[in-house]
Amino acid sequence: MSESTSVQRGPRILLIEDERQIRRFMRISLTSQGFEVIETEDGNAGIAAFNRQRPDLVLLDLGLPDLDGMEVLDALRAQSEVPVLVVSVRASEAEKVAALDAGANDYITKPFGIQELLARVRAALRTTAPGTPGEGIELGDVAIDLASRRVTRHGETVHLTPREFSVLAYLARQPDRVITQHQLLADIWGPVHVHDTHYLRIVVSRLRQKLGDDPDDPHLIQTEAGIGYRLLSR
């Protein structure tokens, strides 16, 4: 009787990009790291491939020949929470915020270094990997218990205000993902406060002080200038 063996594939990445040379560059770089890459060159083909292949992550260009990338993002988000990384030449703050608010996990501006791309891909995949933190989250010497709303550092309780805990918990539920100021303010302070960014800056500053996070060399809360914040899982 012969024994059957199965080969475990690496994470499957769907690449929606119309420029052939960029697709080739990204495919070679990603497959060299063990990823399985599916290539499409326009939005409709990308959506079809997504439905057919069920990838673990999507790399999405915004400047596609048939659909705007934001339309593709909306179509993907209507059916799935699979990580989507926008990779675009559009570099304005408004474009980045719009994509992140629409559900993108991250935004990478062209031109980019391949090591940056690989790091962003690994970070996005960590948020959906088995063992992703749930009610109890440990980040170095900081532990967050979402159920009991308790935070400790070096085993000692850190006393946070309700607003401080809400911001920290919001970031902790989506580690390594950029959360925009608009999202945080709308969901925690309420829609009428979406432009009151000074509220958020004060809370983040206090969190850093209480958690021992140096704003000049953060190991916990990273600022994405003009956009928002991400909680670093490693």
Q: Which residue has the tokens 């391949």?
A: 114
Tokens matching residue 167: 């911001």
Classify residue 171 as exposed, middle or buried by CB count within 10 Å of its CB (0-12, 13-18, 19+). Answer: buried
Whether 207 and 160 share a structural domain: yes
Query: Is residue 220 situated within a structural domain?
Result: yes
> Count of domains in the chain?
2
Query: Is residue 7 situated within a structural domain?
Result: no
How many beta carbons lie within 10 A of that of residue 54, not counting itself?
11
Whether 17 and 112 share a structural domain: yes
pLDDT at 101: 86
47-86 confidence digits (pLDDT tens): 999 999 999 999 999 999 999 999 999 999 888 888 999 9
- pTM of this prediction? 0.72
- 126, 155, 172: which is the final residue of a domain? 126
> Who contacts 35 (Cβ-Cβ below 8 Å, separation ≥6)?
10, 11, 12, 13, 121
The angle at the Cα of 112, spanning 121 to 92, to the nearest 5 degrees, equals: 100
Q: What is the CATH number of the domain that holds 187?
A: 1.10.10.10
164-209 confidence digits (pLDDT tens): 998 999 999 888 899 999 999 988 888 788 889 999 999 999 999 9
- 68, 98, 126: which is the final residue of a domain? 126
Whether 17 and 114 share a structural domain: yes
Q: What is the CATH number of the domain that holds 86?
A: 3.40.50.2300
Q: Is the pLDDT of residue 6 over 60?
A: no
Whether 114 and 165 share a structural domain: no
Helices 43-53, 69-77: inter-axial angle, 10-degree rounding: 20
Structural domain boundaries enclosing 93: 12-126
Whether 178 and 209 share a structural domain: yes
